[in-house]
Amino acid sequence: MTTLDAVDYEFRAARPEDIPAMEALDGSFTTRTIFHVAVTEDGFALQEIPVDPPLHKAFPAEDADGDDDGDDGPAAEEDPNSRTFVAVGSDGCLAAFAAVSYAPWNRRLVIEDIEVAPAHRSQGLGRALVGHALDFARERGAGHIWLEVTNINAPAIHAYRRMGFTFCGLDTALYDGTPSSGERALYMSMPCP
């Protein structure tokens, strides 16, 4: 695939009519490596290890009463501290989205969710959406940007690191009792320039 060509995508705030496409977007991934998490006395250590066969992860559909992206999209229009940005291809189809929220008390912009459809990956859409999140963070006066990612999503972790995110925390219990039980939540952040 070619690198991102800005004329091929329209980036804008999500609209209510984008909700079905956001809910239907395939956020699954396949990886040949995962990040093994070892909890140590002084914190944690990560080691990227191969998995054979490659691991495929598909995320379950959100519950109707849960905090899903469809609920966040329209709220982004009403809540001045939340936004959902979308990338729409030249064919008019939604290619990617990022939902973000700003917490004034600690000046943190949280990337709540970011997904790129498989056919549009490796084209810079994630980086472009994070750029829109950065612009919003600057508007709000954010000091840093923060996100959570599962330790098995090595492709996303590598992408976030290339964008300037670094590891800043771990939650070993976040996914307990969910279909992702056994995975570890890694937290990454970067300063807002």
- Cα–Cα distance measured from residue 128 to residue 175, given in angstroms and rounded to the nearest whole number: 29
Q: What is the pLDDT of residue 14?
A: 97
CA distance 61 to 55: 19
pLDDT recorded at residue 61: 72
The pLDDT, as a whole number, for residue 62 is 64
> For residue 59, what pLDDT is reported?
86
Give the pTM: 0.88
Q: What's the pLDDT at 86?
A: 98
pLDDT of residue 77: 55
pLDDT digit string, tens, across residues 32-66: 999 999 999 989 999 999 999 999 999 877 643 44
Sites in the chain below the pLDDT cut of 70: 1-7, 62-77
